[in-house]
Amino acid sequence: MRRIAVLLAVALSATAASAQDLWTWTLYENPGALALANEVPDSTKLAAVLECRPGSGAAKVSIFPEGGRSRTPIVGEYRTSDADFLGFVRSGKLSLKTDGGSGEIAMDAEHRSKLERFARLCGA
């Protein structure tokens, strides 16, 4: 019986570890709308979403605090030509502070090309 409990504990910890590995950045391109999401694909788990209309020159950034566990986002809007947004595209890091709270985005270098494409397509 103890052996089954140990095997179950190992399986559960492996599942938890692999679930963390599933977080990724996905670029969704639809006619009239773009979205770049930090998500677990095929789930409702979101940590951040960037949205825009192509060519609008504006982007909406929503950060879901607590690693995506909060369903109430912290929202900011940026011109794609703003220094803060351009710095985000260069570094992959953005701090957002509003009356509703604060949050941060840190994007790995491997996903930065998606952010660059999002910024290019959203730009005016």
d(CA 82, CA 78): 7
Q: What is the pLDDT along the chain (124 residues), one digit of tens a residue?
A: 455 433 334 344 444 445 555 899 999 999 899 999 999 998 889 999 999 999 999 999 999 987 777 788 999 999 999 999 999 999 999 999 998 889 999 999 999 999 999 999 999 7
